[in-house]
Amino acid sequence: MTRRRRRKQVTLEDALGVCAWCGKQIPEGSEVFSIGARFRPGVEVEHERNVIELALTPTRKALAIVPTEDSEARRAGYDLLFVLCSEECGTSLRRVLQGQIDIFESRLGA
Ligand SMILES: [Zn+2]
């Protein structure tokens, strides 16, 4: 069998297990914060999987989860979900998100 080199793809587990802001691993069972964000009307983000990498600033990327159609986040009207290790990280991320022209609204929740 030939070994195929695969580009490392981020999975949903990756996105759920690391902080979207500081990149720290979030230990299982620990308290997790999340931010739900909405895109401005008319903004469509192409994605093949349920995780996307969002360039927040030229130097910082965050993993964002695209909620499935039947998820609670989607029902709440969110297009994106960020997982965070602490409230501080959530506040920092939110501050940057608010400056994104595509983001309409973002809300921090535990
Ligand atoms: Zn963090």
> Residue-wise pLDDT tens for the chain (110 aa)?
556 666 677 788 888 899 999 999 998 888 889 999 998 888 877 777 789 888 888 888 888 999 988 888 889 989 999 999 999 999 999 999 888 878 888 888 75
Whether 8 is in a domain gets the answer no
Closest C-alpha among 25, 1, 3, 39 to residue 86: 25
Å from CA of 3 to ligand 1 middle:
36
Å from CA of 87 to ligand 1 middle:
8
Å from CA of 1 to ligand 1 middle:
41
Å from CA of 88 to ligand 1 middle:
7
Domain boundaries, position 41: 15-109
Instruction: Specify the number of domains making up the chain.
Output: 1
Whether 3 is in a domain gets the answer no
Whether 19 is in a domain gets the answer yes
Å from CA of 12 to ligand 1 middle:
17
3-state secondary structure of 82: strand
Whether 5 is in a domain gets the answer no
Å from CA of 2 to ligand 1 middle:
39
